[in-house]
Amino acid sequence: MTTTTINPDNYQQQLEDKVSALRQQFGDALSEQALPSEIDIFASPPLHYRMRAEFRIWHEGDTCHYAMYRQGESNKPYIIDDFPAGSPTIGKLMPALLAKLNANNDLKRRLFCVEFLTTQSGEALITLIYHRPLDDSWREPATVLVEQLGCGLIGRSRKVKIVLGLDYVLEQLNVADQTYTYQQVETGFTQPNAAINEQMLGWAKRQCRQYNSVEQDDLLELYCGNGNFTVALASEFRRVLATEVSKLSVKSALYNLSANHIDNATLVRMSSEELSEAMAGVRPFRRLREIDLNSYNFNSVLVDPPRAGLDDGTLGLLKPFETIVYISCNPETLLNNLHSLNNTHYIAAFAVFDQFPYTPHLECGVILRKHS
């Protein structure tokens, strides 16, 4: 995506084209398991929708610029003068930061990359990545920079991380008339489009409410990340057991459960493959020694896997569940997984979320219900 492709006048048409292509793709591939006639389509704001962004720094003489590279042209950077996809806070910080960098040789020398992490309320964290060691000659002007820009700052070089302020921001998401707080840590995965994330959480919340009883049913969540879905969906279930393998994400998820006063969710650091083995009784795990899996009434399971989709063991784990909530960032692997689940489940609801406008990418949400 380049800045020239971002045209709000064309936004609705490009979204319709993407949805049409996805319908065709799934219609051709799913001979026995058709999409519902009506699917939910969630549009993004056409501008200022990205809460985070990353730019290379291109040095030209004594001046540095923001730059990007087109796919397949890694040696041909193009200069970024503005970034209309970025949040209003990113738009405000970009020129201010660049001016400060160009005015100070200790800040710009061998600077390689700049990352912005922002929130809807205007919090910001900037990361400067260097191809040189960082010392006091960097720290002193960087400390002044923090005061001038009014945001957190992290300096990174090989095996070095210097944090000036906090290494996270706190995002507020409004879902179904309730506000949730999320810690979003530098280098940790977060949904880049906050407006779409709110809609995605709201859709999942409505679907879970339709198919489950808060007094009786429990939720198993795989790939929970920083607790994005865990926090918003906990109120729809009696209990939640969530798993995540990344230590950084687990730490943020625990923070987010506490910050939102969620007391019916338990988090375990383990992979989906390990949990599959534990639930099948293949072998015990020390991390589950204080958790009685048999005490849960798992009616529903939520999966939000990486682009590779679900492995065979996890697909086997899902088949006994009455309801599967599948959030997918890759329609190709989603299709493959749906073929594997075809004999046990049917598609009850389908949604698309335009997480990345002006690109071919679409996120999908699927509700699968067990055949009676």
Catalytically active residues, by annotation: 329, 363
Q: How far apart are CA 34 and CA 120, in angstroms?
A: 37
Number of CB atoms found within 10 A of residue 158's CB? 10
Q: How far apart are CA 94 and CA 127, in angstroms?
A: 12
**Residues 314/362, Cβ–Cβ less than 8 Å:** no
Tokens at 294, concatenated = 């048999």
**Residues 272/249, Cβ–Cβ less than 8 Å:** no
**Residues 152/169, Cβ–Cβ less than 8 Å:** yes
What stretch of H or E contains 256? helix 247-259
**Residues 88/45, Cβ–Cβ less than 8 Å:** no
Cα angle, residue 145 at apex, residues 139 and 148 outer, rounded to 5°: 150
Q: How far apart are CA 207 and CA 209, in angstroms?
A: 5
Query: What does the buried/exposed string (b/e) look like for 169-191 if buried means 16 or more CB atoms within 10 Å of the residue's CB?
Result: bebebebeeeebebbbbbebebb
